[in-house]
Structure 1
C-alpha cells in the first residue's frame, strides 16, 4: 500500500458518528487519537481510502482556528472514486444505511462513469464517482 500524499480534512460535531459513517463508506481506520480526559473528543484521526487516498478529521474544538470558514462542519466536499459503476450504488446504499442523506441520485454524466451524492450528519457532501479522471 502506498502512503497517501494528499489528505482531505474536516471537522466533526460528532466524531464517533463520522467514524462510523466513514467506515460504512469503505474507509479504513489508520489512527484515532482521543482526548484522554474526554474520549468523545478526537484530536486527530487518519483514514485510508482505497490504495492512495487519505482523510484526516478532528472534533470541533471551538478554538480560534475554527473561525475560518473552511473549518466549519458541513463546509466540505469530497470526491470518492470507486472501481465500478455498480460500486457507486453500493457505497451510496451503505452511506444511507449509516445515516447519510441522498443529495444527488445516481446518474451518468456526459464525460463518463456513474455518480451520486450523499450528505453526512454535519452536511458535508460526498460525491461517489466511478469516473477516475484523466
Structure 2
C-alpha cells in the first residue's frame, strides 16, 4: 500500500505523513519541485517535469488498487478511482465510484460559470482546521480499511 500525495498545492502533507508513519506505510509526494524532502524514511519525493498535469499523470499511472491518493484535482481523482485506488480530498471528503461522477459534473459546471463571467471572484470556502481534522480522521479510516 502507498499513500500518493498530489503535493504541489496540498495543504495536508504533514497530516498525511503522520498517518503514514503511524501505520508504517510508504508515502510518495509527487510535485513539479519546490517541495522540501522529508527526512522520514517512509516518505519519498518524486519530481516530475514542469508542465500541465505532469504530477497528475504520474500518480494516475502508478496508483494501484489498495493505494490511497490525496488530491483536490477531480479529473485525477476520477482516474485514480477507476484504477481502484481510494481517493480523499484534502478537506477529508472521500471520492468513490458512487460520487465521482457528480464531483466531475459539479467541477465542469463551476468551470463553465467562471468562464461565462470573467468578473466572478472567489472559489469556495477557505481551508479550515475542521477540514484538516476531517482529513486526519478519514485518511486513518481509509488506511485501516485497506490494511
TM-score, length-normalised on structure 1?
0.30
- The structure with the greater share of residues assigned to helix is 2
What is the TM-score with the length of structure 2 in the denominator? 0.29
Query: Whose strand proportion is higher, 1 or 2?
Result: 1
